[in-house]
Amino acid sequence: MAKVAIIGAGFAGHTAALYLGDALGKSHEITVINLHEYFYYVPSWVWVGIGRMDVNKTRFPLKPV
């Protein structure tokens, strides 16, 4: 059994975890270490900064891998 640790659940980290989960299967352990339990879509923060979007619309709960 392989144990894989991925630091960061941004675009690259979360995508890597999902692809590795599919490729390795359930017999391996994948751990994602992230500061928050959410994925933040940072490109939309420009709209948050000028008051056109609520910050809660830019975050999404991370799903288990």
**pLDDT tens, position by position, 26-65:** 899 999 999 989 999 999 999 999 999 999 999 999 877 6
Write down the pLDDT at residue 65. 64
Q: What residue segments make up the domains of the chain, in order of their start?
A: 3-61
Does residue 17 contact residue 8 with C-beta atoms inside 8 Å? no
Q: Cα 3 to the chain's mean position, in Å?
A: 18
Write down the pLDDT at residue 25. 85
11-27 residue pLDDT tens: 999 899 989 989 998 89
Write down the pLDDT at residue 34. 92
CA-to-CA distance for 64 and 2, rounded, in angstroms?
17
**pTM for the whole thing?**
0.71
